[in-house]
Structure 1
């Protein structure tokens, strides 16, 4: 975001220009007549869409289009669960977003007239609109959390505010989306889940598939219980005796992919991912205290480490965070301040821009969405982050995440 001055008539002709400044939400205040405007040069790709009702949770569905895709236009598949006004209006959306366009952007324009020329589409042809295809399956109650199995992406687990955990097979919907190019949504269909478990004593949010053992599932509720699901002959056996180790709500859990251990946390932590967690106080912390810093002023709602291919930076150190302060931030915890590099960069810029003095790991700040709920890196498209909020979804590819586009 950049600051923009406008007079009351909406024209900036008579307003003197100000030196560019990194504007920090929660730190800097907008003056009268100022507004924030999106700087499109900060993104290699940015798209917004919605599927009707807001979605608290979604997941990226892995596909067969390529393990590491760097060329535009992109195609993504996702599943998402709605938060409708009435319980009976809820559904799970299975959708495909295709023809996601992007551009190349030079970091520093080479001359005064090159600002516009430095932006170029991936194709010489005129860009076509992004195409959204949506199929809906009726769901009992709001969807608190939804997760697709990595090994069999057509198998999806959902947590409902009714207290039920359900497992679905959406292969027919995904196949139909793959074969169709038409824009639009289908009518809501009624489909029976493979399993509907009502053994939890309360609703919950914690759910995760095992990356080591296909089909093994864990679900945790707000009454401190965690259940283990074991796959067997096309269905699941669920242990009648839950794991009980917490005295408060299990808000999130995640399997550690190199082993069979489980990471869980109680109510004062909203979300976790291995080696870091987000607290309700707005702090980001790594478990082994690699770093501890405060930035967000409101609760952390989602946090996720980048896949190994996401950047030329050390991918194990890059993390994306969303917060109810309406910010999505991307951090590289391996970065340290380099004053010589900063001075060299400033010398190339037409305007002198001073970086914040206390945030060297901060790579990117994305704004514009209201009440952010969840984010995910796309596991097959380097540099792509998808986020959901009360006003819909955003797909973004920051321009400073290197190798997000082909060289």
Structure 2
């Protein structure tokens, strides 16, 4: 191998990974992006069929200014487990677009799209961050489809959330229990909004089409009270929370409460907040990491566990029961497997102890904290030098993995995106993938299935 981190090393690693796709993956789709996307999120599932499901996918196009920046709504065909032929999933052209991903609608975005987050109660409503103090809210189904050409007028967001005093570029979250939005910015503040008063219930669907199906059964949509106005409706904050000493890089709601949330920032702090007791920190962990913190996630299955990712290349797991208001508290565990800054962490919706982490080293690691400390880890899922808890490493990206999202509708299915400007000089790569179920299922279950397969092969073999 040539010098570590060099171009040749990346190419050799990628070639090796591609040769192992039929063994490691149940399904994988590779989609070349002309412009890099800094965020990727799953939208609502539209249709279930025998061999695949159709689902919305939210992306962006971060352009060089020759054409406008855009928020992209795509339709994605997600192949069901154990359907794709192993020999076919590795046969893709890196420079081509995937037949499984088709652009459905384009919104011309005011500035770059740094972050996309969907409203859990109705995922056709999304929030975006750009290089401004405002948060933009879009009803993506109601927005007109636009053709992004130089000089085209920007699309008008349905709502603009104001309250930051300086740019808020990345820290963004939407509440799982109520239509609340949370943001952090360069003004060192965390800002909370309610968009409840701007959302109306739709009792009946006005159309039978899949696109409007998500509006039915009491789902919510943004009120069209501002249609005649040339300006979008603005919404002021419900609360502004001060406690960080530097830029707030990420925020997250407690999964069961719209009043409790957490934030991390460039001051190396993890802060827990409770809107019911005021605008000051409830708990402030002063040195959560030894460098800037980039990301945070709160476990939806066990609400005592919080993950943080940092520029110190590590992921740390905190138990909020161990944290005190004096800022004392050590992580339960440090997960050290990345060789560059961690940009994104997210708990799996499918298993309480599993989470993913994406980093500037081009890897998306899948961890299981319950495996940490166990003497025996399953053969084949842990190499002698791999860090404790790491049981799968997605190496399909050749540059920094800037975002990923577990699919709540299709278990163990992940969308991930890389910004390839450093390796190929431009563009990005979107991958939708699902590891083989033989990797994450209980060992006894897998061995029993393999025994059945062995018995079947023996019964089919010619008798001597």
Normalising by structure 2, we get a TM-score of 0.64
Q: Deviations over 1:351-385 (max 9, x none)?
A: xx982245341111111311210111001100101
Q: Which residue in the other structure is 1:280 paired with?
A: 311
Within a 5 Å distance, the mapping from 1:287-306 to structure 2 comes to 287-288=318-319, 289-306=331-348
Q: Deviations over 1:68-99 (max 9, x none)?
A: x9x64232312123221128620100111126
Q: Which residue in the other structure is 2:248 paired with?
A: 250
Deviation at 1:149, TM superposition (A): 0.5
Q: 1:219 to 1:119 in 2, by over 3 A?
A: closer
Q: Is the 8 A contact 1:337 1:360 kept in 2?
A: yes
**What stretches of structure 2 of length at least 5 have no aligned partner?**
90-97, 199-222, 224-232, 267-291, 299-305, 320-330, 420-427, 443-448, 450-464
Instruction: Count residues in correspondence.
Output: 334
Give the counterpart of 1:323 among 359, 364, 373. Answer: 359
Q: 1:143 to 1:360 in 2, by over 3 A?
A: same
Q: Is the 8 A contact 1:61 1:153 kept in 2?
A: yes
Q: Is the 8 A contact 1:225 1:243 kept in 2?
A: yes
Corresponding position: 1:78 with 2:57:
yes
Q: 1:365 to 1:193 in 2, by over 3 A?
A: same
Q: 1:337 to 1:271 in 2, by over 3 A?
A: closer
Deviation at 1:202, TM superposition (A): 2.3
Corresponding position: 1:151 with 2:121:
yes
Q: Is the 8 A contact 2:26 2:86 kept in 1?
A: no
Q: Deviations over 1:108-160 (max 9, x none)?
A: xxxxxxxxxx94889xxxxx942523311101111111111111112111111
Q: 1:87 to 1:151 in 2, by over 3 A?
A: farther
Give the counterpart of 1:208 among 173, 184, 192. Answer: 173
Give the counterpart of 1:359 among 353, 373, 387. Answer: 387
Q: Is the 8 A contact 2:340 2:361 kept in 1?
A: yes
Normalising by structure 1, we get a TM-score of 0.72
Q: Is the 8 A contact 1:159 1:203 kept in 2?
A: no
**What stretches of structure 1 of length at least 5 have no aligned partner?**
4-24, 106-117, 123-127, 177-185, 347-352
SS of alignment partner, residue 256 of structure 2: coil
More relative contact order in 1 or in 2 (CA 8 Å, sep 6+)? 1
Within a 5 Å distance, the mapping from 1:42-191 to structure 2 comes to 42-65=24-47, 72-86=51-65, 89-98=68-77, 100=79, 103=82, 119=86, 129-172=99-142, 187-188=147-148, 190-191=154-155
Cα distance in 1 for residues equivalent to 2:318 and 2:413:
25
**Larger relative helix fraction:** 2
Deviation at 1:336, TM superposition (A): 4.8
Q: 1:263 to 1:239 in 2, by over 3 A?
A: same
Q: 1:163 to 1:84 in 2, by over 3 A?
A: farther
Q: 1:239 to 1:43 in 2, by over 3 A?
A: same
RMSD between aligned residues: 3.4
